[in-house]
Amino acid sequence: MTSRLATQFAKVFGHPPVSAARAPGRIEFIGNHTDYNGGPVLGAAINRSVWAAAAPSPNGLLNFSSEGHPPVSVDPNAPAKLSGPASWANYPLGVWLQLPKFGLRQPAAFDLHVASDLPPGLGLSSSAAIELATALALAALSGASASRETFVKLARAAENEFVGMPCGILDQGCSGFGKKDHLVHIDCRLPAFSNIPLPAGVRLWMFNPHAKHALTDGFYAARHAECQQAAAALNVPFLANASPDQLEAAAYSLPEIPLKRARHVIGEIARVRQVCDALARGDLSETGRLLTASHRSSQHLFENSIPELDNLVDLLAAHPGVLGARLSGGGFGGSVMALTTAAFTLKQAEQIAFAHHQKFHVFPDFLPLQADAGAELLPL
């Protein structure tokens, strides 16, 4: 991909790139909406990525190009949030704006070209991937380097502060700290990142039912606000600070909706810890059981699932080759992740897709994935 990226760059800008980087997408393994509540989350960087190549620009502007997206140029003296078809460039522009806040020199003017093999719509966090690939490539232009953690925080700040998406650190953390055949464990409050091995012989799959709830706009922010409301009622800074017992003791004082959201988040935090323990002792059936329990909690308590995701989980969970299945990512659309044994193959995945089609008359896409390495600078 690096040579294709460099060729594309030269075709678009008429000169070769000076730096290049790759950052992977991610799956959320377990820990649904725990990140911004100060809890732990387990994810994985995957073997699908976004690549970015960069060079100083001779025209004094910030020039953004990406396959399948309109080119965008921004005056570095008047950077403003973009809208409409140009809005994709808010992600790399937001990264450029954050560089000095993290002690990294901003290139005064640059050309940036982006390529990707991350399929859109599967909820694989292409936004974090484009942010991290951009951050590494732009920092390298001025010869600057920083820790992995700094790049992760910078990328998240770009998404929170410039794009305006109040995401936690899961997406950027997994993209930054991925490791082949390992999960990424993030203690989101510190934050602290570590890798834990995935047992040999398991497989990861994503199923996308191509269904989106009609009212997705603002749902993430609404859930975020409901969690904050519950934490305030419990008198804790984050829901992660409250134990299940504390929550139940105070249940009478919480309105119904924040109570349900808090039950999901606090239960989910316990499940993340239980999955870590189960994986450490190689207990795959318990790991799978907890994954499916996470989905049921999303379905009934956090109410961020939709019937199409529930149906895929029902079909997958009933399959003998599947250890567990759950919605992965923000919810209200997106995809279902399944952890399977090696006995679950493309043929079995097709059967699940076919059964789903019989009910919803739409064929889900599916994709086998591998846990893979995190973001990296690439030699040109």
Q: How many residues bind ligand ADP (CB under 6 A)?
A: 13
Among 65, 125, 134, 297, binds ligand ADP (CB under 6 A): 125
Q: Is 291 near ligand ADP (CB under 6 A)? A: no
The binder of Mg ion chosen from 127, 134, 294, 311 (CB under 5 A): 127
* Residue 171 known to be catalytic: yes
Under the binding rule (CB under 6 A), the answer on residue 50 touching ligand ADP is yes
Determine the 3-state secondary structure of 134 from DSSP: helix
Tokens of 97: 């704006």
> What is the C-alpha to C-alpha distance for residues 303 and 201, in angstroms, rounded to an integer?
33
Return the number of the residue (153 or 260) whose C-beta is nearest ligand ADP: 153
Least Å distance, CB 130 to Mg ion, is: 9
Which position among 171, 187, 310, 372 bears the catalytic label?
171
Other beta carbons less than 10 A from residue 117's beta carbon = 11
Q: Which is nearer to ligand ADP, 25 or 324 (CB)?
A: 25
Q: How far is the CB of 352 from ligand ADP (least distance, A)?
A: 22
Residues 183 and 328 sit within 8 Å (Cβ to Cβ):
no
**Sequence-separated (6 or more) residues with CB below 8 Å from residue 173:** 41, 43, 152, 184, 186, 188, 191, 193
**Which residues make Cβ contacts (< 8 Å) with residue 378, sequence separation at least 6?**
2, 20, 21, 22, 51
First to last CA, the chain: 11
Does the footprint of ligand ADP cover residue 134 (CB under 6 A)?
no
Burial of 223 (0-12, 13-18, 19+ CB in 10 A): buried
- Applying CB under 5 A, the span of 7-15, 24-32, 121-129, 224-232 interacting with Mg ion comes to 121-129
13 part of the interface to ligand ADP, by CB under 6 A? no
Q: Which of ligand ADP, Mg ion, none is residue 366 near (CB under 5 to 8 Å by kind)? A: none
Question: Does residue 114 bind ligand ADP (CB under 6 A)?
Answer: yes
* Site for Mg ion, rule CB under 5 A: 125, 127
* Site for ligand ADP, rule CB under 6 A: 50, 66, 69, 88, 91, 114, 116, 123-127, 130
